[in-house]
Amino acid sequence: MPAAHPLLAPLNEAQRAAVSAPLGPTLVLAGAGSGKTRVLTHRAAWLIHECGASPQGLLAVTFTNKAAAEMRGRIETLLDLPGGALWIGTFHGIAHRLLRRHWREAGLPQNFQILDDDDQHRLVRKLLKEQGLDEQRWVPREVQGFINREKDEGRRAKHLEDRGDATRRELIRLYTLYQKRCDQLGVLDFAELLLRSFEALRDQPQLLAAYRHRFAHVLVDEFQDTNGIQYQWVKLICGDAGRPFVVGDDDQSIYRWRGARVENMQHFRRDFGATVYKLEQNYRSTAVILGAANEVIRRNEDRLGKELWTEARGGEPIRLYAAFNERDEADFVIERIREQARQGQPLTGCAVLYRSNAQSRAFEEALVAARIPYRVYGGLRFFERAEIKDTLAYLRLTQTRSDDVSFERVVNLPTRGIGQSTLERVREVARQRELSLWDAAAATLPSLPPRAAAALLAFLQLVDRLAEAIGGQPLQDQVRHVIETSGLREHHAREKDNKGEARVENLDELVNAAEAFEPEPGDELPPLASFLAHATLESGEMQAAQGSDYVQLMTLHSAKGLEFPTVFLVGLEEGLFPSERSAFDLEKLPEERRLCYVGITRAMQRLYLTYAESRRIYGRTEYRAPSRFLGEIPPQLVEEIRPRLSVSRPLHVPGSGQERDHERGWGGRQERSGGNPRPLAAQPASRSRQAAGEDLPFKLGTRVRHPKFGEGIVLRFEGNGAHQQVQVNFERAGQKWLMFAYANLQRADGG
């Protein structure tokens, strides 16, 4: 009786059916929070426990390393297995592992290195420069994007046709050159990891047969975000007899811009003749949150169609806050976080989700000021910070002198008097004689002026000395030694601003990371090589130290698959979310809406939505309308939070804003799908007002008294309505910005 089985007990009927489905291609199609990941985990355990699969015979693909670690933990606990038996990881992690084992078959040097996005960008730029191409015309990011897109579809340059298009012809030529250079350098970009491992398997029948035999069971989470090559990869490794078990939600496909193809779900069903299971009961969110999510996503067309429901009744209303600007938005969020902390809730239960990385700064500053610990996921990953990459570059050079990318990075860092003309000479020799920069530097020495030669020699000797000194040392000592001896620590310690201090802290943090580093089970590389690969592949998840309590900040994209009791979905403005480029794009807008759906469905108990009337971002101040997505949420689920009005003077004069408020539509209004007409209370419409003074509560220059700060002079007003802010120069307390509605200012000059 399956229901009695302990592995099935914590599941509902539909989940049980999926977990105990007969062996064969299976697709679980289900909405957010309906237990897809739980089903996948239980299926893995079920296969081992009930179907005689060996733990080594399982290959599970997740979307992040964090998810992989969690799944590994859960399966090992469910089955009481020793750690390390299972192959669980991201597509990139697994491809990397295969290539490390089969570098020969893949035509790679044993010590191949991985290029992250930034390294790849530098390499493309360098190539364009060598080719004498103008960066305005051939934008490095675009060239890079072209190459990656083709690779993501499994296409080499030789497969591409220019279709008589001169631009395309040039891009194809650059792709060819770029790949040639990567092969010479023994480096792989992220897309290459997948493509190269795919080709190695495809072209070596014995290798393929061995892995097909080994991985009798392939499981994939978040299948809606697989790209072309990942899909091919799954097909290849499963073969005709394979029994892949994949789970996904077409409504959560959010990586189209990176080559993901939601159609893969349909293709999978067709190509494999998969049996489909649907899960529709949501276990994560309150009925209120789920109701909002369902309403938003309903507006997309071409959905595979499923309606989520929950047994949970009601729930707190969704709270909406219209902030004056991004600082006010951050303050609002932080006040709510404080409130929760006061009630004894852990900070880790709170997540701030935003559309773009640039939005994190205001929150970080406010959190620092409030002394609330936090972690930012994604964004500039720890391992992408300049000082960290510099250290890694030294470490890489100690392992592989021919690593040109690293050579370029640190040859004159800290400055050691190696000038551009010397470097040009070295590059020239490298090009002419097809040498690595390292070898070219050695070859150039005799022909350089004495000072330049001495400086360059000092660098070469430094790296040799480092390599010698760290051989055989424990990993953290290797890292520490390189930081000290390369001069990087001193270099940053000398920087005057507190940026230098932060950089030194980061360097210390790198030593800690090395100390805490544990190679993936089954990894056969020496610890340093394994650590360097990890640093490149790790996707920003490691920053969250375990065991401590902190607020989590991340983009909506990195929040996929996660859940939090309290979610702050911030920056809901037209032009930001949906982003500017997608607002009128029939393909991109639905993806933004899916992203909104992902955001809403991360929340378990409480959801806060915020937008700012004005926002400083990318160095400009922007005034934007509230996001159309707000208009798509049923008003009865939302409670607006507005600052309490506590002044008797009217804050508005007729004609200055209030009337226009009623005309101002939500973004959703103009849309074909038709948002709700004016679902919520009117928003203040006018922007920053620095009017001559007649519509301000006090004239500029008025002397006022504040209950706490004493007397001062009114300098300036910003904003209006409930959000009006006033700047006062207090005699004792100095200049301060106050929310006018709360400030309780009295005239002090009796006028």
The residue ranges that bind ligand ATP (CB under 6 A) are 10-12, 15, 30, 32-38, 249, 252, 283-284, 561, 563
Nearest to 282 by CA among 72, 5, 597, 572: 597
CB of 569 to ligand ATP, least distance (A): 15
Specify the residue, 106 or 562, whose C-beta has the smaller distance to Mg ion: 562
CB of 538 to Mg ion, least distance (A): 20
φ, ψ for residue 597, nearest 5 deg: -60, -45
Residues that bind Mg ion (CB under 5 A): 36-37, 561
- H or E segment at 711? strand 710-718
CB of 250 to ligand ATP, least distance (A): 11
Task: Find all residues with CB under 8 Å of 281, minimum gap 6, and list them.
Answer: 12, 14, 34, 35, 308, 309, 310, 311
Task: Find all residues with CB under 8 Å of 672, minimum gap 6, and list them.
Answer: none
CB of 216 to Mg ion, least distance (A): 24
By a kind-dependent CB cut-off of 5 to 8 A, residue 15 interacts, out of Mg ion, ligand ATP, none, with ligand ATP
Specify the residue, 18 or 191, whose C-beta has the smaller distance to ligand ATP: 18
By a kind-dependent CB cut-off of 5 to 8 A, residue 349 interacts, out of ligand ATP, Mg ion, none, with none
Specify the residue, 188 or 559, whose C-beta has the smaller distance to Mg ion: 559
Specify the residue, 309 or 737, whose C-beta has the smaller distance to ligand ATP: 309
By a kind-dependent CB cut-off of 5 to 8 A, residue 522 interacts, out of ligand ATP, Mg ion, none, with none
Nearest to 537 by CA among 49, 66, 46: 66
CB of 677 to ligand ATP, least distance (A): 32
φ, ψ for residue 297, nearest 5 deg: -75, -25
- Sheet of 725-730, strand order: 734-739, 725-730, 710-718, 703-706, 746-747
Residue with tokens 């080594």: 56
Residue nearest to Mg ion (CB): 37
- What type of residue sits at position 609? L
Specify the residue, 32 or 429, whose C-beta has the smaller distance to ligand ATP: 32
Long-range contacts of 438-444 (CB under 8 A, 24+ apart): 438/397, 438/401, 438/402, 438/403, 438/404, 438/407, 439/401, 439/402, 441/407, 441/411
Cα 746 to Cα 738: distance, rounded to the nearest angstrom: 14
CB of 281 to ligand ATP, least distance (A): 8
CB of 743 to Mg ion, least distance (A): 47
By a kind-dependent CB cut-off of 5 to 8 A, residue 284 interacts, out of ligand ATP, Mg ion, none, with ligand ATP
Q: Do 102 and 521 meet the contact criterion of CB atoms below 8 Å apart? A: no
The Cα diameter of the chain in Å comes to 94
715 in the Ramachandran plot: left (φ > 0), alpha (ψ -120 to 50) or beta?
Answer: alpha
> What are the structure tokens assigned to 389, written together?
């990459």
> What are the structure tokens assigned to 13, written together?
């009927």
Q: Do 229 and 154 meet the contact criterion of CB atoms below 8 Å apart? A: yes
By a kind-dependent CB cut-off of 5 to 8 A, residue 520 interacts, out of Mg ion, ligand ATP, none, with none
Specify the residue, 74 or 319, whose C-beta has the smaller distance to ligand ATP: 74
Specify the residue, 563 or 695, whose C-beta has the smaller distance to ligand ATP: 563
By a kind-dependent CB cut-off of 5 to 8 A, residue 615 interacts, out of Mg ion, ligand ATP, none, with none
CA 293 to mean position of chain CA atoms:
22
By a kind-dependent CB cut-off of 5 to 8 A, residue 11 interacts, out of Mg ion, ligand ATP, none, with ligand ATP
Between the alpha carbon of residue 421 and those of residues 418, 425, 456, the distances in Å are 8, 6, 12
CB of 223 to ligand ATP, least distance (A): 11
Specify the residue, 30 or 172, whose C-beta has the smaller distance to ligand ATP: 30
By a kind-dependent CB cut-off of 5 to 8 A, residue 444 interacts, out of Mg ion, ligand ATP, none, with none
Cα 126 to Cα 118: distance, rounded to the nearest angstrom: 12
Specify the residue, 35 or 626, whose C-beta has the smaller distance to Mg ion: 35
Specify the residue, 286 or 325, whose C-beta has the smaller distance to ligand ATP: 286
3-state class percentages of the chain: helix first, strand second, coil last, to nearest 5: 50, 15, 35
Specify the residue, 247 or 570, whose C-beta has the smaller distance to Mg ion: 247
Q: Which residues pair with 374 in a beta bridge?
A: 551
CB of 355 to ligand ATP, least distance (A): 18
Between the alpha carbon of residue 436 and those of residues 61, 407, 442, 596, 634, the distances in Å are 37, 9, 10, 48, 62
Please tell me whether residue 375 adopts helix, strand or coil conformation: strand
217 in the Ramachandran plot: left (φ > 0), alpha (ψ -120 to 50) or beta?
Answer: beta
CB of 12 to ligand ATP, least distance (A): 4
Nearest to 502 by CA among 378, 626, 364: 364
Torsion angle of C-alpha atoms 455, 460, 463, 464, degrees rounded to 10: -130
CB of 31 to ligand ATP, least distance (A): 7
Q: Do 543 and 381 meet the contact criterion of CB atoms below 8 Å apart? A: yes
Specify the residue, 260 or 448, whose C-beta has the smaller distance to ligand ATP: 260
Q: Which residues are catalytic?
A: 36-37, 221-222, 252, 602
β strands within 170-329, DSSP E: 187-189, 217-220, 245-248, 275-279, 318-323
φ, ψ for residue 603, nearest 5 deg: -85, 135
CB of 280 to ligand ATP, least distance (A): 11
Q: Do 590 and 301 meet the contact criterion of CB atoms below 8 Å apart? A: yes
Q: Do 351 and 553 meet the contact criterion of CB atoms below 8 Å apart? A: yes
